[in-house]
A and B are shown apart, each in its own frame.
Chain A
């Protein structure tokens, strides 16, 4: 009997320990799955494997970057010397153009297309041909032109995000990162003064009755689902911005920032109010006893004392804004270009994942790139959490 009881005690403790460790396991799993898919993007060529670029054997160009390929096919680059080759004009060739060079009789059956392609590329030295890999002849007389591999450098520094572009996907996350930062920072600039004012009012000025009304209001503000914020932004804020600034479209970075500011308010208010309430009573009373007014006490004693808590509140608010998906997706217009002002449409990292993952074929380049975006987001939030953790730890040490 005693043994049995001891056994169940141990068993229960073990079970509890396992569930306690579960969150750590989940974090590890998230890292594992996110990074396994996301890191796959590096080292793969920026062209899907199903198509190839080919040139004449005599062409001196060894490889092209994704941006060069895009500019060539957009005809912004028209001469080989712009990409390190001869002075000649680049002759573009798509698979459909084959009827320009050969009559139907010359092509004959579909099976002879690869051989014709091979001959064509061999006969025209300045041609850049883009065709499906299955049309590649066995003894191909031209040379396949590799595109540059995706590296962390050109992934993070790339200025264009066109993941489905043909022939080469443009996977530069710079516009997305800048868009995310712009929207979040402006949101915090709006939310921080408002949030601090409310926190000071609730924590130091208002009486208990007012506090009891304000607290649930802040909680409710935090409870409203982000998609409802997004919807509200779409039908109220977006038209408002459009009219106020006389824009063509109201879906701008500013609309996103305003909605995010509202969403970050509860975080900022709750945490900074908590920090202010932790100011020792003795400190406040000493200040008042010296003849300082309540307001002088607040800005000379309470705010400096709770500075680290307020910093933590601001950082967590930024974290909330950076990771927010649905509301931003609905109001910022989703243009993946580097933003020049807050009155332009932008696209953030989370919004990109939400908008594009549904259409990205599983395991493909685009899919992996979106997971890599997830990794970036994960790292940002991890850094935010750790810095908040170290701020609150430093404060604890300071008090002892």
Chain B
């Protein structure tokens, strides 16, 4: 015999189950979206990938041949932007977490850094074009593109460094200072080494971000079609994301260059995927190491 109390309890349970299953299915659906996108690109792209595709110049109006200059261009831009963003970002992160005192200045810098992080990438493109390309006369060049991309990831590098430093226990700082070390000695010999793995993880992720950005390089360095490798930092380059955009939307023959588009998308995704997995593996590896100590 079912009492009124049992009825309520059952209806509560039924409602909870219904809600939880809905959430579970929606979550699986979202994971499914990722695998759908990845699977789609991989299945179509893998047919285009070959040694020649990765090492040859594009030919016949980008409908045949490889994407070597785009790969080299993207790597150059990543390297260029990192040369700029890593040292400055890490130094800024150290300042914010170790040196800056609570107060107006720190708060102000925090707000500005957050704002910089929120600016859309196309605005960075406008800024890079007007400052580096036109005002400083770098022209459309690797230099202008790298600086623009560097500014774009600067907030990410700063934030990662800050988080990594925050994770270092205060006893390290106090102990080192108590032994008579100066602030910089403490920071450089005690804090930085123990925060290093986390900093590196963040840097790897920012490399992934830079290699996929298109809008900031549209007007600062990207070349539509340039079947040769760059010789100096004042040369234009092709880049993977821009190349994908061009052959997907405005190439000479969109239908014929589809296989190349799939291949390019796969290479681009592979870079991002590898960076992500690398960062995750490192995080887990170092995370375990710290725990066993």
A interface residues with partner B (beta carbon < 8 Å)? 5, 8-9, 12-13, 15-17, 19-24, 26-27, 29-30, 33-34, 37, 194, 197-198, 200-202, 205-206, 213-214, 216-221, 223-232, 234-236, 262, 265, 269, 293-296, 298, 316, 319, 322-326, 330, 350, 353-354, 357-358, 362, 370-371, 374, 377-378, 381-382, 384-385, 389
| A319 partner residues in chain B, CB cutoff 8 A | 118
One of A16, A194, A295, A330 near B91 (C-beta < 8 A): A16
Q: Are A17 and B123 in contact (CB under 8 A)?
A: no
Distance of B111 from chain A, by nearest CB (Å) = 7
One of A221, A225, A265, A294 near B16 (C-beta < 8 A): A294
Q: Are B118 and A228 in contact (CB under 8 A)?
A: no
| A37 partner residues in chain B, CB cutoff 8 A | 130
| B100 partner residues in chain A, CB cutoff 8 A | 20
Provide the B120-155 mask, 1 if CB < 8 A to any CB of A, else 0: 111111110111001100000000000000010011
A-B pairs, 3 with minimum CB distance: A323-B120, A225-B212, A20-B95
One of A23, A231, A371 near B92 (C-beta < 8 A): A23
In this complex, how many residues of chain B approach chain A with their Cβ under 8 Å: the count is 86
One of B211, B219, B248 near A230 (C-beta < 8 A): B248
Distance of B127 from chain A, by nearest CB (Å) = 5
| B135 partner residues in chain A, CB cutoff 8 A | 33
Distance of B275 from chain A, by nearest CB (Å) = 8
One of A17, A197, A294, A370 near B95 (C-beta < 8 A): A17
One of A13, A24, A382 near B108 (C-beta < 8 A): A24
| B91 partner residues in chain A, CB cutoff 8 A | 15-16, 19-20
* Sample of 15 further A-B pairs with CB below 8 A, known A30-B116, A227-B268: A19-B87, A20-B92, A23-B116, A23-B158, A213-B31, A223-B275, A226-B121, A227-B214, A232-B40, A323-B123, A325-B214, A326-B215, A370-B126, A377-B120, A381-B119
Q: Are B120 and A350 in contact (CB under 8 A)?
A: yes
Q: Are A323 and B122 in contact (CB under 8 A)?
A: yes
| A24 partner residues in chain B, CB cutoff 8 A | 108-109, 112-113
Is B37 interfacial (CB-CB < 8 Å)? yes
| B87 partner residues in chain A, CB cutoff 8 A | 19
Chain B facing A: main interface SS: helix
| A231 partner residues in chain B, CB cutoff 8 A | 244-245, 248, 261, 265
Q: Are B30 and A194 in contact (CB under 8 A)?
A: yes
Q: Are B20 and A295 in contact (CB under 8 A)?
A: yes
Known: A30-B123, A205-B20, A216-B276. A224 touches B37 (CB 8 A): yes
Is B55 interfacial (CB-CB < 8 Å)? no
Closest A residue, CB atoms, query B183? A9
| B111 partner residues in chain A, CB cutoff 8 A | 389
Closest B residue, CB atoms, query A216? B280
One of B13, B38, B155, B219 near A358 (C-beta < 8 A): B219
Q: Are A219 and B26 in contact (CB under 8 A)?
A: no
Is B203 interfacial (CB-CB < 8 Å)? no
Known: A221-B34, A330-B249. A385 touches B215 (CB 8 A): no
Closest A residue, CB atoms, query B112? A24
Q: Are B276 and A223 in contact (CB under 8 A)?
A: yes
B interface residues with partner A (beta carbon < 8 Å)? 12-13, 15-16, 19-20, 22-24, 26-27, 29-31, 33-34, 37-38, 40-41, 87-89, 91-92, 94-96, 99-100, 108-109, 111-116, 118-127, 129-131, 134-135, 151, 154-155, 158, 182-184, 205, 208-209, 211-215, 218-219, 241-242, 244-245, 248-249, 258, 261, 265, 268-269, 272-273, 275-276, 280
Q: Are B116 and A27 in contact (CB under 8 A)?
A: yes
Q: Are B115 and A225 in contact (CB under 8 A)?
A: no
Closest A residue, CB atoms, query B94? A16
A-B contact pairs, 5 of them (CB 8 A): A34-B130, A37-B130, A201-B23, A231-B244, A358-B218
Q: Are B16 and A295 in contact (CB under 8 A)?
A: yes
Q: Are A262 and B33 in contact (CB under 8 A)?
A: yes
| B22 partner residues in chain A, CB cutoff 8 A | 197
Q: Are B118 and A350 in contact (CB under 8 A)?
A: no
Q: Are A22 and B121 in contact (CB under 8 A)?
A: no
One of B15, B26, B119, B215 near A30 (C-beta < 8 A): B119
| B12 partner residues in chain A, CB cutoff 8 A | 293, 295-296
Closest A residue, CB atoms, query B120? A323
Tell me, in angstroms, the Cα distance from A17 to B119 when the chains sit together: 23
| B33 partner residues in chain A, CB cutoff 8 A | 221, 262, 265
Q: Are B151 and A201 in contact (CB under 8 A)?
A: no
Tell me, in angstroms, the Cα distance from A234 to B37 when the chains sit together: 12
Q: Are B215 and A354 in contact (CB under 8 A)?
A: yes
